[in-house]
Amino acid sequence: MGRIVLEKVSKTFGDVEVIPPLDLAIEDGEFAVFVGPSGCGKSTLLRLIAGLEDTSSGEIIIDGETVTEVSPSKRGLAMVFQSYALYPHMTVRKNIAFPLRMEKMDQSEIDAKVDIAATSLNLTDYLDRKPGQLSGGQRQRVAIGRAIVREPSAFLFDEPLSNLDAALRVGMRMEILELHNKLKTTMIYVTHDQVEAMTMADKIVVLQAGVIEQVGTPLELYRAPRNLFVAGFIGSPKMNLIAGEEAAKHGATTIGIRPEHIDIVTSGGVWEGTVSVSEHLGSDTFLHVNVDGIEEPLTVRSIGDIAVRHGDKVSLSPRLNELHKFREDGLRVE
């Protein structure tokens, strides 16, 4: 079990309210991702749930029990950090076994649990090594193994992959997802990377300045961002946001259109523009197009082998059924 509920939880450091009162429910077995720019309060929120910070107000409830005043070790949660925090002088086996030794569990039981964790993390061949003899990805797996043996009701991950290089990050992302499929335990995963959020989450919680901007599945957020912040934050490259007269035509203060929802047409486009930069990625090409009357260049996604370069004129046609409309206060027009 691992249903986590926050009721009117807030956090103030000194006289700075980092997290105004918020409500949130993470369901048992869910993979929830807290995402938002650096400094928005993701780690603070996770630490409040873990009990590493005291709440300034509100209640935290795990599986129906109020744990707001309960010490971290008694909450049944396990946290994995960006810095692996392994003991360098201990072997992998001893590092993973560490929390169980603290509980004074029988050695035979410890060995069995360590073996199971090591198997599910492909660490069996490394149990006698020390952390210094492992790659970054393997070290992070050891840190996860140390969390697994505690059999927590939920795992809390704080940017666990930030220290790894890009290729390794993609691999570890898949491993953590496979682990979630296997264990079916609640996981809360903090990241500033919206791609990680989109690819991993059952439920994304978008935060800005300690405020929850939207909660939903990746596709809900992609298809119907609640406000301009979420519209600009979710999706890569970013959604084009256009204000002024062009938006007024659609009865909005700002309209949004994603790069993949603008077609390049031979004639009869809505916007005529000049290509400033074309980024050829092989699979796709991203064109940055200057259009008269639109302040920012529009980003347009096209096929990989389009023969368009700097200075070329193009005619653009937005798919009107994919248009997002926002009011003056930034909220989506339904």
Cβ of residue 100: shortest distance to ligand ADP, in angstroms? 30
User: Which of these ranges, 42-50, 214-222, 279-287, 296-304, lies near ligand ADP under the rule CB under 6 A?
Assistant: 42-50
Coil, strand or helix at 219: helix
Place of tokens 């009011």: 327
Coil, strand or helix at 30: coil
Q: Which of 31, 42, 234, 252 binds ligand ADP (CB under 6 A)?
A: 42
Cβ of residue 218: shortest distance to Mg ion, in angstroms? 21
Would you count residue 43 as binding ligand ADP (CB under 6 A)?
Answer: yes
User: Which of these ranges, 34-42, 114-122, 230-238, 267-275, lies near ligand ADP under the rule CB under 6 A?
Assistant: 34-42
Cβ of residue 11: shortest distance to ligand ADP, in angstroms? 8
Place of tokens 């193994």: 145
For the beta sheet containing 211-216, the strands, ordered from the edge strand earlier in sequence to the opposite edge, are 77-80, 154-158, 186-191, 31-35, 203-208, 211-216
Tokens, residue 283: 């699979």
Identity at 293, one-letter amino acid code: G
Which residue from 146, 125, 138 is spatially nearest to 175, judged by alpha carbons? 138
Contact status, residue 137 vs residue 164, Cβ threshold 8 Å: yes
Would you count residue 18 as binding ligand ADP (CB under 6 A)?
Answer: yes
Would you count residue 181 as binding ligand ADP (CB under 6 A)?
Answer: no
Site size with ligand ADP, rule: CB under 6 A: 10
Would you count residue 41 as binding ligand ADP (CB under 6 A)?
Answer: yes
**Partner in contact with 39, chosen from Mg ion, ligand ADP, none, beta carbon below 5 to 8 Å by kind:** ligand ADP
Contact status, residue 231 vs residue 239, Cβ threshold 8 Å: yes
Contact status, residue 228 vs residue 240, Cβ threshold 8 Å: no
Q: CB-based burial of residue 200 (10 Å sphere; 0-12 exposed, 13-18 middle, 19+ buried)?
A: buried
**Partner in contact with 40, chosen from Mg ion, ligand ADP, none, beta carbon below 5 to 8 Å by kind:** ligand ADP
Question: Quick one: 42 or 332, whose CB is closer to Mg ion?
Answer: 42
**Partner in contact with 44, chosen from ligand ADP, Mg ion, none, beta carbon below 5 to 8 Å by kind:** ligand ADP
Would you count residue 13 as binding ligand ADP (CB under 6 A)?
Answer: yes
Q: How far apart are CA 95 and CA 146, in angstroms?
A: 7
Cβ of residue 198: shortest distance to ligand ADP, in angstroms? 18
The DSSP call for residue 297 is P
Residues in contact with Mg ion by CB under 5 A are 43
**Partner in contact with 13, chosen from ligand ADP, Mg ion, none, beta carbon below 5 to 8 Å by kind:** ligand ADP
- Contacts to ligand ADP by CB under 6 A: 13, 18, 36, 38-44
